[in-house]
Amino acid sequence: MRRRLAVACLAVALAGAARMSPTPLAAQEAAIVPDGQPAVLEAADRARTKGEADAPLRIVEISDFECPFCAQFHRDTWPVVDSLYVRTGIARYLWISFPNSRHARAWPAIEAAFCAGAAGRFWEMHAILFETQEVWSEAEDPHARFLEYGERAGVEPESFAACLRADQPAPLQVSDYESALRSGITSTPFFIVGDSLAIQGAVSAERFRAAVDSVLTARGLPRP
């Protein structure tokens, strides 16, 4: 009962972000972080969702870029989820940040992802950060790495650097963190499927698929 309540609370807290429309193609092509914190927050919030806005199912991931189990999920399970459910229009996927207090570089990494997201490049930066986790998490100057990754993700360097320098995504990060805490979530990765089913840990693609398919079946929706 306690876990179901936590899932329901977080689902309500994050409902607005999940309903946002995809980033316009023009914004993606420009790859420039917009001026002003309100514009950055709105664009970053919108960009961390993936999939059709009217998809019948929503999947929420609560994650930390410095978490090794989150990187494991990204490597082993996320490609299957993306291919079977997100790209096919079955699921709308929402990524929520929840940095572990023991991960000193998780917060700036999340900030880098959200600044890239404000330019329409969240998922490109998401992939780079997980794929290079062992590099930037041990780097003497992680900030320099993030600037490099921003350019690699296709973000205009000056606007990206300015976003990082001003800590513009901070309110979004704080909001994510407080929502997860209020919902009783204590570890990453953590997933909510269909606003009802909770999955904890870097489960295999087979187990994740079985969980998602069970929700689809319960709702009378076709499975891929």
pLDDT computed for residue 81 by the predictor: 98
- Torsion sign over Cα 161, 167, 168, 170: positive
Residue 37 CA to residue 91 CA, distance in Å, equals 30
pLDDT computed for residue 20 by the predictor: 40
pLDDT computed for residue 130 by the predictor: 98
Which residues face 200 on adjacent strands? 190
215, amino acid identity: V
What does each C-alpha distance from 132 to 100, 155, 158 come to in angstroms?
18, 18, 22
Residues 6+ away with beta carbon under 8 Å from 103? 64, 66, 67, 137
pLDDT computed for residue 141 by the predictor: 95
Q: What is the DSSP string of the chain?
A: -HHHHHHHHHHHHTHHHHTPPPPPHHHHHH--PPSSHHHHHHHHHHHTEES-TT-SEEEEEEE-TT-HHHHHHHHHTHHHHIIIIITTTSEEEEEEE---TT-TTHHHHHHHHHHHHHTT-HHHHHHHHHHTHHHHTT-S-HHHHHHHHHHHTT--HHHHHHHHHTTTTHHHHHHHHHHHHHTT--SSSEEEETTTEEEES---HHHHHHHHHHHHHHTTPPP-
Domain boundaries, the chain: 2-17+28-218
Residue 216 CA to residue 194 CA, distance in Å, equals 9
Q: What is the pLDDT of residues 140-190, one digit of tens each?
A: 999 999 999 999 999 999 999 999 999 999 999 999 999 999 999 999 999
Residue 166 CA to residue 179 CA, distance in Å, equals 23
Rounded to an integer, what is the distance from CA 29 to the centroid of its chain? 21
Q: Token match 């780097």: residue?
A: 139
In tens digits, what is the pLDDT along the chain, a chain of 224 residues? 444 434 444 544 454 444 343 443 333 454 899 999 999 999 999 999 999 999 999 999 999 999 999 999 999 999 999 999 999 999 999 999 999 999 999 999 999 999 999 999 999 999 999 999 999 999 999 999 999 999 999 999 999 999 999 999 999 999 999 999 999 999 999 999 998 899 999 999 999 999 999 999 999 999 99
> For domain 2-17+28-218, which architecture applies?
3-Layer(aba) Sandwich (3.40)
